[in-house]
Structure 1
Amino acid sequence: MLTRAESVQGLKDLRQHLWERWWLPHADTLARTRLEKLHAQGAMPRIALVKQDCNEDLYCCTRGTPLAEMLRSTLLRSGPVALFTQFRTQFVLVRAEEDPECAIWKEKARDLRWCPEEWFRSFQDRVPGRDYGQTEFAVSVEDVDWSAFDLVISVDVAVPARITRRFPQVVWAYYVREVKAPSYRVSLQTLLPGQDLFLKQNFAPRFRRGNAAHVVDFPYHFHYHGVFLDAFQEDASLWCGDADKAGIFLEHHMRAALSDKELTVLERFGPVYSTHHAAVRHDEVAGKAVPVTTMEPEVLAQLHAARYFVKMGGRNVFGTAMVEAIACGAVALGDPHRLSHRFLYSRVLSAESFAALVDRLERLEAEPTLLAAARARQRALVDHLCFRRPALELVDACQKVRARRH
């Protein structure tokens, strides 16, 4: 007899299956058609993606830097790449302002106790592994003509209310990058000063709507399958068909925890790749580690070459790396209990132990049709939930903000 927990999970699985089988194809066709129409009409909004010079993530370059070079300049993650491949978007790096609404970054020091404030400020003077700081490319918020954009998206609030109120024709939106930060919880209920929309980062199917009117489900990893092929069009090393993919790309925390014996077992399935933290370089001048990012040419090529991406063990994660891997063409496997968006793991891709992982890999290798079906499912989910649906919901939310003003 099933336990109550097993019965509840069974109902969730059935609901998810019906949503994928009947609703997703219909909804995605409508979304695709509407996006194509917006492109054809030249109606895609002009967007600025903005970050402060004390932000230890995303790009470090001047406005107008070519897309491939901009992505290579990232300090850590690839970020919402589809904003640049599918919208008319520019990246703007600004100097940190002292207005209270622009101090979300301080919560990482004060409330989350990641590092002292000085650690974040030090990125203004020197980026680890580079001979320059972000201030070299940053501009004052006073010197940007924000009227050139229809929508401005801040990674944490980067443009203060005293500036945003001067441009009532612009829609102002923001991420709180760290979902554990107090400002994230506050923003689910009410907007920070000077802002119109809060980008929540979630991308799961919704069976009950619960967002406030100002909240948009819009992933930080705004990706679709093939997004990096669009971004790095001249990089032939990324063009690897599904039939030619081989091996496994391991989430870096998992790679660190593997024994030599376990690694040898995985090598039966092809090359084993990772951004394993033991390979992190160290900047003696800055006194900081220099992380290996997935936007480095060799690592991005490995992601596109790998047949599988695996996350097991270690801390729970949001799923950014997994979505990025699926966008690169890999099939993601692992422990769903370590993932916020566990629906991406079907039963054949779920493994809570190393022995189960090996069993799943052996079965997928032995049954090409099963592998193809698992691959198609994950790509369909990422394309819809991490790109097409949030793209249209952002466009619609901007239109509603403008309608309220008029």
Structure 2
Amino acid sequence: MTTPKIALVKQEVYQDLYVCPTSEKDAGNILFSSQGRVGPIGLMAELDADFYIVHEEPQWETQIYRKVIPHLAKHLYLLKTQTLDKLPGQEFKRPGSPHANGDFAVSCYAVDWGAYDIVISINVSLPTRLIRQYPHTLFAYMIGEANMATRTARFGYDVTLNQLARGIVAERCGAVDFPYTFVSGDTLERLLAAKLGRPSKSRGVFMEINSTRERPVTRVPEHFRPLVEEAGQEVLLHRQLIAENLESIYDAKYFIKMGGRTIRGNSVAEAISLGTLAIMNRDEVIHKELITDACNVKTMDEAVALVRRLETDPAEYARLLDEQRQNLTRLFFHLPLKSLANCLKDKRRRNRPAPYNAVSRVLDHLAFIKGLHF
């Protein structure tokens, strides 16, 4: 499969992902500039994609972000001139860049989107009228929060990315399985090794942040104590700065989630890509496919027993980690990329954008008024 030319786009009012100029081509620098999550860094690290921050536009479809996280919506304009930790209620955050989104934002009208095969927008960054001018480019959007606007591609876009990774390959434009954390089995490990200039220490247990309610996390919760007292493991805690947090996971040998709320599983994908074995109850993660059978534990006692066994059997540890890596590469990289390639072929075979008329606009407006769960 020929590697498509891809652009990733976010608005200057988006509260996550990278804060850097388009001229930045070092994927490690891009990753460490994130305001929070790892996101689809595989686009830049593996596929040499370009990354853009664009100015907020006034069209109604580009204002979808206001519906995504309503409690923050009235403050997000501040990201044009300030960092995330300056927003009310976000003071505990530690964004990876000292710059505001707006420092690097460009006009979406100043970019030749026709130079790309695929353009992926976080939320709806580009106006419908603009993208309709590029009939040979595949335009996809991914709403920043999962489960929103995932059933039907709207706003004149060709594809909606649903943040799932079920192994379903799309054959034509529409809804597509594509995870927020788009990485291969060793993408993050290679980036961290290059940035740190050393291999992983491969010791201790990193506790997934949602195993506790404490924010920021400052202490090992009581239910994780058996890992220390019975398995002899140091427990590493979540850190607010993305570079420091990824380094902690990179240096850990095990990544364990136990108790707390159900998670989507982006952190699990990150851990595996960093070369850290993920252990948890499969019922507590939406991306169930990441937790292979041998690492699916229901109690802390089971987790402790597994860690103790693997400490005496390095070959089995290596086998289980390799199994998770292969699984991640297939579900979080190869198959989503294949889906986008199929959608691109579908659009170019039709040689025109999908129909978008007055009825389409009315339906999108109605969906916008009702909310994004459509």
Give the TM-score, by structure 1 length.
Answer: 0.76
In structure 2, list runs of 5 or more residues that go unmatched: 86-93, 353-374
Q: Which residue number corresponds to residue 309 of structure 1?
A: 255
* Deviation at residue 392 of structure 1 after TM alignment: 1.7
Q: Tell me, in whole angstroms, the C-alpha distance in 1 between the residues paired with 2:237 and 2:134.
A: 45
Q: Deviations over 1:135-176 (max 9, x none)?
A: 121111122222221211001110011111222222111111
Q: Which residue number corresponds to residue 267 of structure 2?
A: 321
Q: Which amino acid aligns with 1:357?
A: A
Q: Deviations over 1:279-307 (max 9, x none)?
A: xxxxxxxxxxxx432xx1x3322222211
Q: Which residue number corresponds to residue 68 of structure 1?
A: 28
Q: Tell me, in whole angstroms, the C-alpha distance in 1 between the residues paired with 2:21 and 2:170.
A: 39
Q: Which residue number corresponds to residue 41 of structure 2?
A: 81
Q: Which residue number corresponds to residue 371 of structure 1?
A: 317
**The one of 275, 278, 282 aligned to 1:336:** 282
Q: Which residue number corresponds to residue 279 of structure 1?
A: none
SS in 2 for 1:98: coil
* Deviation at residue 234 of structure 1 after TM alignment: 3.3
Conserved? CA contact 1:336–1:345, under 8 Å? yes
Give the 3 Å change call, closer, same or farther, for CA 228–195 of structure 1 in structure 2: same
Q: Tell me, in whole angstroms, the C-alpha distance in 2 between the residues paired with 1:193 and 1:255.
A: 39
Q: Which residue number corresponds to residue 10 of structure 2?
A: 51
Give the 3 Å change call, closer, same or farther, for CA 229–357 of structure 1 in structure 2: closer
Conserved? CA contact 2:27–2:41, under 8 Å? no
Conserved? CA contact 1:101–1:192, under 8 Å? no
Q: Tell me, in whole angstroms, the C-alpha distance in 2 between the residues paired with 1:58 and 1:238.
A: 25
Give the 3 Å change call, closer, same or farther, for CA 117–344 of structure 1 in structure 2: closer
Superposition map of 1:18-167 within 5 A: 38=1, 43-65=2-24, 66-110=26-70, 115-127=71-83, 128=85, 132-167=99-134
Q: Tell me, in whole angstroms, the C-alpha distance in 2 between the residues paired with 1:137 and 1:107.
A: 24
Give the 3 Å change call, closer, same or farther, for CA 361–169 of structure 1 in structure 2: same
Q: Which residue number corresponds to residue 296 of structure 2?
A: 350
Matched, 1:251 2:208: yes
Q: Tell me, in whole angstroms, the C-alpha distance in 2 between the residues paired with 1:131 and 1:236.
A: 20
* Deviation at residue 327 of structure 1 after TM alignment: 0.4
Conserved? CA contact 1:57–1:77, under 8 Å? yes
Q: Tell me, in whole angstroms, the C-alpha distance in 2 between the residues paired with 1:332 and 1:394.
A: 28
Q: Which residue number corresponds to residue 266 of structure 1?
A: 227
Q: Which amino acid aligns with 1:140?
A: S
Matched, 1:193 2:160: no
Conserved? CA contact 1:249–1:273, under 8 Å? yes
Q: In proportion to residue count, which structure has more helix?
A: 1
Aligned-pair identity (%): 27
RMSD value, Cα: 2.4
* Deviation at residue 256 of structure 1 after TM alignment: 5.2
Q: Which residue number corresponds to residue 146 of structure 2?
A: 179
Give the 3 Å change call, closer, same or farther, for CA 157–374 of structure 1 in structure 2: same
Count of equivalent residues: 334
**The one of 178, 192, 204 aligned to 2:166:** 204
Q: Which amino acid aligns with 1:330?
A: T
Q: Tell me, in whole angstroms, the C-alpha distance in 1 between the residues paired with 2:189 and 2:299.
A: 33
In structure 1, list runs of 5 or more residues that go unmatched: 1-37, 277-290
Q: Deviations over 1:10-29 (max 9, x none)?
A: xxxxxxxxxxxxxxxxxxxx
Conserved? CA contact 2:205–2:253, under 8 Å? yes
SS in 1 for 2:49: strand
* Deviation at residue 236 of structure 1 after TM alignment: 4.1
Q: Which of the pair has the greater relative contact order for Cα pairs under 8 Å at 6+ separation?
A: 2
Give the TM-score, by structure 2 length.
Answer: 0.82
* More divergent stretch after superposition (48-57 vs 117-126): 117-126
Q: Which amino acid aligns with 1:203?
A: A
Q: Which amino acid aligns with 1:123?
A: L
* Deviation at residue 238 of structure 1 after TM alignment: 5.0
Q: Tell me, in whole angstroms, the C-alpha distance in 1 between the residues paired with 2:198 and 2:164.
A: 28
SS in 2 for 1:234: helix
